[in-house]
Amino acid sequence: MRLALPLSLLLSYALPVLAEMPAPQGHVLVTLGGAVTETNLPARGENGGGLLGFLEVTHDGAAGFDAALLDSLPQVQITIPYGPPDHQRDYTFSGPLLSDVMILAGAEGKTARPMAMDGYQAEIPWDSISTYKPILATHADGAPMGVGGYGPTMIVFPPTDDADAADAQASQQVWALAYIGIE
pLDDT for 153-166, tens place per residue?
999 999 999 999 98
Give residue-wise pLDDT tens across range 36-90.
999 998 887 766 778 887 888 888 889 999 999 999 999 999 999 888 888 889 9
100-114 confidence digits (pLDDT tens): 999 999 999 999 999
pLDDT of residue 13: 40
- Average pLDDT over the chain, rounded to an integer: 86
Query: What are the pLDDT digits (tens) for 9-47?
Result: 333 443 333 447 888 999 999 999 999 999 998 887 766
Q: What is the pTM of this model?
A: 0.85
Comparison of pLDDT for 137 and 43, the residue scoring more: 137
Confidence (pLDDT) at 52 = 82
∠ Cα 136 142 144 (to 5°): 60
State residue 60's pLDDT score.
85
